[in-house]
Amino acid sequence: MRNIFAVFIFISLWFPNSAFAILGDVAPLGNPDGSVTLGDAVVAARMAAGLIPQDANADVAESGSSTMGTSGGGVTITDAWLLARSAIGLPTAADQTYTNSLGMIFKKHAPVGFDMGSSDGQTPREGDEKSHSVGLTESFYIQATEVTQGQWKAVMGTTPAHFGYCANCPVEQVSWNDVAQFLVALNARNEGTYDLPTEAQWEFAVRGGSTTSTYHFGEDANKLKDYAVYYSNSGSKTSIIASKLPNSNGLYDMYGNVSEWIKDSYSLWAYYKESWPESQLSKDGQVLNPLWPPDGTADSGLKSVRGGSWNDQADHARSADRNFEYPDHRGNNIGFRLVREAP
């Protein structure tokens, strides 16, 4: 039966009228033009699994697919895959998401190797973005949005933001040292182990599956307005989180709203594999789980900052762009997001 369903999904995506001729009971479904809808896919999934079609809405919710589909309401390959897995009891996108008691949503990322930095000849490009290969050997969860003022207040009892209290706006005017105290308080709640992302974790997450392109959506800076609150569209202030489109990893505001504190200390040398001990290099020369500085290396005293902000031009809202500040610096354009250890 599973094979029959797989064939049906393939046919329905490319030859919708033929597919629904196979499942005659489903023929009335679909858009007027004969295209396949998300509802069609979930009904077919339930039928293939021997379940009643009437519970389709529950399957959509459980599959994590309720916000998927094309802008016109059609079904995508991803929708079909998730719904098919949901109907036969296999893990779906919902299993890759964790939400804690504060409403912080985290997206899971599997171990991966990738090229970090910007490639030779790419423009714009800064001198501290040397392309190099890194490996992340453990899964991790990264927050889908920046930490909000409301979440900060719930943990710390304070409202430090420069722009006035807005529960669903990103917290800013917090230093790296302030964030360290926030982490102590948050981890004391015993809901898992939280931290700031490393530069490598952050850059892999922002790329959303892209490789060396300037932005996760490609090279066209004109599209940035759809994904980021930055200088050209911010009105000189922060905005409510997730007011723009996410990347393909389901992460919002990686290129704008506020820049983000990172766990690493800042260094030019962190992007040269020769700076790392041999014990941290793979056979292929990847730097494994980089966090600067490695043992025995002097700390610059500066902390890395990644991502553009409401006050940054497009050139500084790139996947590879790097910045830094002293750990006691408080700025109205710097906030943070968290990572959580995968259980």
CATH at 211: 3.90.1580.10
Instruction: Please check whether residue 137 is in contact with residue 287, taking contact to mean a CB–CB distance below 8 angstroms.
Output: no
Do residues 316 and 250 share a domain?
Answer: yes
Closest CA to 249 of 71, 80, 78, 131: 78
Do residues 154 and 109 share a domain?
Answer: yes
pLDDT single digits (tens) 211-266? 778 999 999 999 999 999 999 999 999 999 999 999 989 999 999 999 999 999 99
- Residue 335 pLDDT: 99
Q: What is the spatial distance between Cα 125 and Cα 161, in angstroms, rounded to a whole number? A: 32
Instruction: Please check whether residue 91 is in contact with residue 63, taking contact to mean a CB–CB distance below 8 angstroms.
Output: no
- Residue 65 pLDDT: 42
Q: What tokens were used for 96?
A: 């890759």
Q: What is the spatial distance between Cα 270 and Cα 287, in angstroms, rounded to a whole number? A: 10
**Cα–Cα distances in Å, from 199 out to 206, 316, 324?**
10, 16, 12
Do residues 171 and 50 share a domain?
Answer: no
Which of the listed residues 95, 121, 140 is the one where a domain comes to its end? 95
Q: What tokens were used for 235?
A: 């009105």
Do residues 75 and 112 share a domain?
Answer: no
Do residues 50 and 127 share a domain?
Answer: no
Do residues 207 and 329 share a domain?
Answer: yes
Q: How does pLDDT run along the chain (343 residues), one tens digit per residue?
A: 444 444 344 434 444 443 333 333 333 444 445 555 556 666 666 566 566 655 555 555 544 444 434 334 455 544 565 566 556 655 555 568 999 999 999 999 999 999 999 988 888 999 999 999 999 999 999 999 999 999 999 999 999 999 999 999 999 999 999 999 999 999 999 999 999 999 999 999 999 877 778 999 999 999 999 999 999 999 999 999 999 999 989 999 999 999 999 999 999 999 999 999 999 999 999 999 999 999 878 898 999 999 999 999 999 999 999 999 999 999 999 999 999 998 7
Do residues 122 and 38 share a domain?
Answer: no
Do residues 41 and 68 share a domain?
Answer: yes
Structural domains of the chain, count: 2
Which of the listed residues 47, 65, 95 is the one where a domain comes to its end? 95
CA angle 24, 30, 36 (to 5 degrees): 100
Do residues 153 and 127 share a domain?
Answer: yes
- Residue 86 pLDDT: 59
pTM of structure = 0.75
Do residues 272 and 133 share a domain?
Answer: yes
Q: What is the spatial distance between Cα 142 and Cα 208, in angstroms, rounded to a whole number? A: 12
Which of the listed residues 73, 95, 117 is the one where a domain comes to its end? 95
Do residues 46 and 112 share a domain?
Answer: no
Do residues 186 and 320 share a domain?
Answer: yes
Q: Which domain holds residue 216?
A: 100-341
How many helices (DSSP H) and strands (DSSP E) are in the chain?
A: 9, 12
Q: What tokens were used for 204?
A: 């892999």
- Residue 3 pLDDT: 44
Q: Could you identify the residue written with the tokens 């500085």?
A: 293
